[in-house]
Amino acid sequence: MTDNPFADAFDTPAEHNQPVFSVSELSGALKRTVEDAFSLVRVRGEISGFKRAASGHLYLALKDENAVMDAVCWKGVAAKLDLRPQDGMEVVCKGRLTTYPGRSKYQMVIESMELAGEGALLKLLEDLKRKLAAEGLFAPERKKKLPFLPKTIGIVTSPTGAVIRDIMHRLNDRFPRHVLLWPCLVQGKGAADQIAKAIRGFNALDGSNGIPRPDLLIVARGGGSLEDLWSFNEEIVVRAAAESDIPLISAVGHETDTTLIDYASDQRAPTPTAAAEIAVPVRRELLAQVMDDAARLESAITRNLEDRRLRVVSAGRAIPNPQRLVDDMTQRLDDRVERLANSMENYLQRHGMRVDQLASKIPQPHQQLQNAQDRLSARTQALMSGYQSFLQKKHSQYDRTSALVRRKAVDDGIDRAQQKLVSLSALLESYSYKSVLDRGFALVTDTAGNAVTSAKGLENGQGLAIQFGGNEHVDVVVAQDGETPSPSAPPVATKPKPKPKAQLPKSPPKQGSLF
């Protein structure tokens, strides 16, 4: 007996006795056959055409150089995957085969997915490294300086491993500090999210609720394979380390292990123990250094004071005895006082004699007054006689001077009037129309001597006179529209009378002198 449901139909010798199946029946039979035969398979291939649906399901194709197979990963399984699928990634998928009757296709339902070997991991690592480096997450200028002696140190690692004990032991040996531990997974599913959450959690502390904010962070893990350390290569962990405002030391693996968090951290430590050594100095060495500096400072101060004391002593030897200086100055002062008293007496005596000599040369005051009175009387008489003679001469000259002044005023008035008349005549001449005629213009007048300024109102045969420059004129007859003037209307234009020129008055004869 065979497991093939179609064996009986194929063994039937008569073709007309073969059973007829519907499309759904045949598709269902194929689906059961494939699922029973391939209920658990592991397939290795390269991801192609990866797509994440809005429902959360993953659709992709696994291919190699000869074939392509569709695959699907349902939402519940996709959320538990340890890696994030992408095109070009070589993976090993575990699941089952099934068919899709709606399109007559078969596909694999993925239940787990892992990278196909270390080579694929390294390629993924290099691709992510290039991507993050292009964004500047590994730039040296982003790295912060570590504090010399942090008051509080935050540690992100597993609470049960040997790493936390090694770090605490090294800190206690070098310089005990207050330590905050944020426990988290360092390997396996969900480890990357917990590490990133721990880094961001330490940065979110503000010192309230009795929990101090760390001055330094240490992210640590022991050694392991590339797969074991992969959580520290995840993009979420690297970005959290790069965004940390608190200086961060990465201490993942052994000396030869390198993860992406090492590039994003502010400083890399080869081991967790080395991270503790970098975080704090040695207390004993600091004490020894302080004591040595104190001794050197004390010695320098002592030498400085001794040097200054010697300089003061040396300078004091060059200073004379103050008491002797005071005695010498006192003696000199007494001598000056005695000489000053003698010189003052002699000075007053000499000047008294000088005053007596000058007093003998000064005349008596009443004699000086008499002499001045005599001089005043003489000068007064001379002045009065001179004034009388001046008045006589002045009176005789006054009459002649007044007549001359009046005559001169009349002559000046006449001259000014003549000058004004000449100026007005010249101005009137400049406004005369004859100057315009001299430049080539003509004056047209009618029989009454009135100026004709327009052709309007003129009649055929009317007589006009045209005057030119130099008092020349001609008589004309008006002819309009080509008509000939009528012989019965002879020109009767009259010459305009010129205006008489202003006559300048003759200057009156000047009056002779009265003297």
> 3-state SS of 351-417?
HHHHHHHHHHHCCCHHHHHHHHHHHHHHHHHHHHHHHHHHHHHHHHHHHHHHHHHHHHHHHHHHHHH
The dihedral region occupied by 197, where left means phi > 0, alpha psi between -120 and 50, and beta the remainder, is: alpha
How far is Cα 425 from Cα 417, in angstroms, rounded to an integer? Answer: 12
pLDDT at 442: 81
Instruction: Give the count of domains, the chain.
Output: 4
CATH number, domain containing residue 243: 3.40.50.261
Mark whether 265 and 200 lie in a shared domain. Answer: yes
Residues 158 and 277 in one domain: yes
User: In terms of domains, do 34 and 149 share one?
Assistant: no
Decide: 278 and 148 in contact? Cβ < 8 Å: no
Q: Comparing C-alpha atoms, which of 196, 190, 198 is closest to residue 159? A: 198
H or E stretch covering 238: helix 235-243
Tell me, yes or no, whether 104 and 179 share the same domain: no
Could you tell me if 239 and 143 lie in one domain? yes
pLDDT in tens, the chain (515 residues): 445 554 454 454 445 577 888 888 888 888 888 888 898 999 988 888 899 999 999 999 998 888 999 999 999 999 888 778 888 788 889 999 999 888 888 999 999 988 776 566 777 888 888 999 999 999 999 999 999 999 999 999 999 889 999 999 999 999 999 999 999 999 888 899 999 999 999 999 988 888 899 999 999 998 887 778 888 999 999 999 999 999 999 999 888 888 999 999 999 999 999 999 999 999 998 899 999 999 999 999 999 999 999 998 888 787 777 788 888 888 888 888 888 888 888 888 888 888 878 877 776 667 777 777 788 888 888 878 877 777 777 666 665 666 566 667 767 777 777 787 777 777 766 666 676 777 777 888 887 778 787 777 787 877 888 888 767 778 888 876 656 555 444 444 444 455 454 454 444 444 444 33
Domain edge (last residue) among 116, 151, 177: 116
Report the residue count for the chain: 515
Among 300, 317, 334, residue at a domain's last position:
317
**How far is residue 219's CA from residue 200's CA, in Å, rounded to a whole number?**
12
Structural domain including 305 reads 284-317
Confirm whether 129 is domain-assigned.
Answer: no
- The verdict on residue 375 lying in a domain is no
Torsion 6-10-15-17 (CA) sign: negative
Q: Which residue has the tokens 């570590």?
A: 146
Q: What are 273's two structure tokens?
A: 């123990």
Those residues with Cβ within 8 angstroms of residue 143's Cβ, 6 or more apart along the chain or in another chain: 266, 267
pLDDT at position 204 is 92
Name the strand (E) or helix (H) holding 336.
Answer: helix 322-361
State how far the Cα of 437 lies from the Cα of 498, in Å rounded to an integer.
13
Q: Cβ of 253: how many Cβ atoms within 10 Å?
A: 23
Residue 75 and residue 40 in contact, taking contact as beta carbons nearer than 8 Å: no
Residue 402 lies in a domain: no
- The Cα 269–Cα 252 span in angstroms is 8
3-state per-residue secondary structure call for 50-81:
EEECCCCCEEEEEECCCCEEEEEECHHHHCCC
Helices (H) and strands (E) in the chain, counts: 13, 13
All residues at 6 or more sequence positions from 507 whose CB lies less than 8 Å from its CB, including other chains: 414, 418
Is 400 inside a domain boundary?
A: no
d(CA 37, CA 154): 55
In a domain, 71, yes or no: yes
Instruction: Determine the angle formed by the axes of helices 272-279 and 162-174, rounding to 10 degrees.
Output: 30
Does residue 242 sit in the same domain as residue 143? Answer: yes
Could you please report the per-residue DSSP string of 89-117?
-EEEEEEEEEEETTTTEEEEEEEEEEESS
276 and 301 assigned to the same domain = no
Residue 245 in any domain: the answer is yes
**Which of 271, 301, 317 delimits the end of a domain?**
317
Same domain, 247 and 300: no
Per-residue tokens: 443: 């004056």
Q: Which 3 state secondary structure label does DSSP give 497? A: coil
Q: Which of 116, 100, 104, 105 lies closest to 42, judged by CA?
A: 116
Tokens of 402: 């007044």
160 and 111 within one domain:
no
311 falls within a domain = yes
Whether residue 45 lies inside any domain: the answer is yes
Residue 208 contacts residue 159 (beta carbons within 8 Å): no
The two tokens of residue 299 are 């010695």
Same domain (yes/no): 256, 236: yes
Q: Which helix (H) or strand (E) holds 123?
A: helix 118-134
Q: 0.75 exceeded by the pTM? A: no
Q: Are residues 242 and 147 in the same domain?
A: yes
274 lies in the same domain as 153: yes
